[in-house]
Amino acid sequence: MKGKVFSVLLILISLLLVACGNSSNKGTNSLIVSSDESHERKEGKDPTDKKKIALVMKTLTNPFFVEMEKGARRAENELGIDLIVKVGAKETSIEQQIAIVDELIREKVDAIVIAPGSSTELIPVLKKAQEAKIPIVNIDNRLEPKLCKELGLIDVPFISVNNEQGAYLSAKVIGNKINSPTEAIILEGIEGTDNGEQRKRGALRAFGENKNIHVVASQTANWKIDEAYDVTAKLFQSHPNIRAIFCANDMMALGAIQYLEKAEKKDVLVAGYDALDEAKKAIQAGKLTATIDQQADVQGYTGIQYAYKAMQGEKNPLETMIDVKVIRAGNLE
């Protein structure tokens, strides 16, 4: 009897040992996988990492760039990337933009989409980014092509609108309303920026087609509402008979309108550029004659799409022009 009990105990012990052995093998397999994952994390190879694309803009104090970010966010959601948005304190913060790009190079982002505050001063740091194998996409304000070539910044896709044509169409709305001798002024963007210079040329072309229009002054207000107010005030001191103003963006147009209201100057035609909500309200109120919708959201969206394709080794068109839309009282949505 004791022998039988002993035999049964031996069998049970054997079964337990086999079970433990199988459990141990399963545990070992599990530990190997876990070890690999731990190694990947130590090596910075987290399989859940998203590609990081940086959008560098001039500022978010201008609603135009708020719309640009909205378009970029739409692309972010579609592509499943991580969008990093960086801006300067104001549109003239060129040194700050340069520092931002330097920081992005150190952070090793996967691509940079930039609306540069200067057509020339950002080129050296963007060349540095390109040398670090970071694809660059230029939107809104064109980097100066000749200097890009001289410094070796090559094959950078450019996405924007035909700024000269857009400004021409906006100023032309004013020009078509003038049938007697009239003094006009132009409020320019930042001197030397490609988009600012193009808009100035477009406005001059439109005004030049009407023999009754005499442009008495053209001066920068650096895209800013407060500077536009001050510049308009000074120009009216020198030329009190001004009756037409083209502003290279809506922020400056709003500044000019503020001065006109405070000075109680009526019958002055004002045209802008950007189709900001406040500008549309000014058109509705009869204070602004026209503005241009350059579809900032489409520029932002397309810029991120191009950056993503470049990361995959795909070629992008070197120039993409987005259609502009003239906004006036007759077609306000």
Indicate if 209 and 280 belong to the same structural domain. yes
Same domain flag for 218 and 266: yes
pLDDT over 60 (residue 17): no
Residue 187 placed within a domain: yes
Q: How far apart, in whole angstroms, are the C-alpha atoms of residue 31 and residue 44?
A: 20
Q: 8 pLDDT exceeds 60?
A: no
109 within a domain of the structure (yes/no): yes
pLDDT band at 49 (very low <50, low <70, confident <90, very high): confident
Same domain, 169 and 313: no
- Residue range 102-107: mean pLDDT, rounded: 97
The answer to whether residues 240 and 197 belong to one domain is yes
Mean pLDDT of the chain: 88
Lowest mean pLDDT among 3-12, 89-98, 143-152: 3-12
Give the range among 6-20, 169-183, 197-211 with minimum mean pLDDT: 6-20
Element (DSSP H or E) covering residue 298: helix 296-311
Own/partner long-range contacts of 84-89 (Cβ < 8 Å, ≥24 apart): 84/52, 84/53, 84/54, 84/55, 84/109, 85/54, 85/55, 85/57, 86/54, 86/55, 86/56, 86/57, 87/56, 87/57, 87/58, 87/59, 87/60, 88/57, 88/58, 88/59, 88/117, 89/59
Average pLDDT estimate for 69-78 = 98
Do 289 and 210 share a structural domain?
yes
Asked if residue 272 is part of any domain, the answer here is yes
Whether 222 and 116 map to the same domain: the answer is no
In a domain, residue 287? The reply is yes
Res 298: pLDDT: 97
**Is 199 inside a domain boundary?**
yes
Is there a single domain that holds both residue 147 and residue 183?
Answer: no
Residue 12 within any structural domain of the chain = no
Both 113 and 205 in one domain: the answer is no
Least Cα distance to 72 among 246, 301, 256, 303 occurs for 301
Residue type, 265: K
Does residue 285 share a domain with residue 270? yes
Is a pLDDT exceeding 60 seen at residue 321? yes
Number of domains the chain is built from? 2
Distances 23 to 14, 16, 27, 29, 261 between C-alpha atoms, Å: 14, 11, 6, 10, 84
Do 237 and 308 lie in one domain? The reply is no
Residue-level pLDDT at 92: 77
Decide if 33 is inside a domain: no
Q: Residue 45: what pLDDT?
A: 42
Question: What CA–CA distances, in Å, run from 124 to 94, 102, 151, 158, 274?
Answer: 13, 10, 7, 17, 29
Tens digit of pLDDT for each residue in 186-242?
A: 999 999 899 999 999 999 999 999 999 999 999 999 999 999 999 999 999 999 999
**pLDDT (mean) for 287-295:** 97
Residue 2: inside a domain, yes or no? no
pLDDT of residue 90: 80
Q: In what order do the strands lie in the sheet with 319-321?
A: 82-87, 52-57, 111-114, 136-139, 158-160, 319-321
Measured distance CA(178)–CA(210) in Å, rounded: 8
Of all residues in the chain, the percent with pLDDT exceeding 70 is: 86
Highest-confidence range of 46-50, 57-61, 265-269, by mean pLDDT?
265-269
On whether the CB atoms of residues 239 and 246 are closer than 8 A, the answer is no
Region 147-168 average pLDDT: 97
- Residue 271's beta-bridge partner residues? 246, 290
pLDDT of residue 48: 54
What pLDDT was estimated at residue 330? 87
pLDDT attached to residue 254: 98
Q: What pLDDT is attached to residue 91?
A: 78
Domain ranges, residue 243 = 163-293
Tell me, what's the pLDDT at 263? 97
174 and 283 share one domain: yes
Tell me the CATH number at 300. Answer: 3.40.50.2300
Q: Same structural domain for residues 289 and 304?
A: no
d(C-alpha 14, C-alpha 5), whole Å: 14
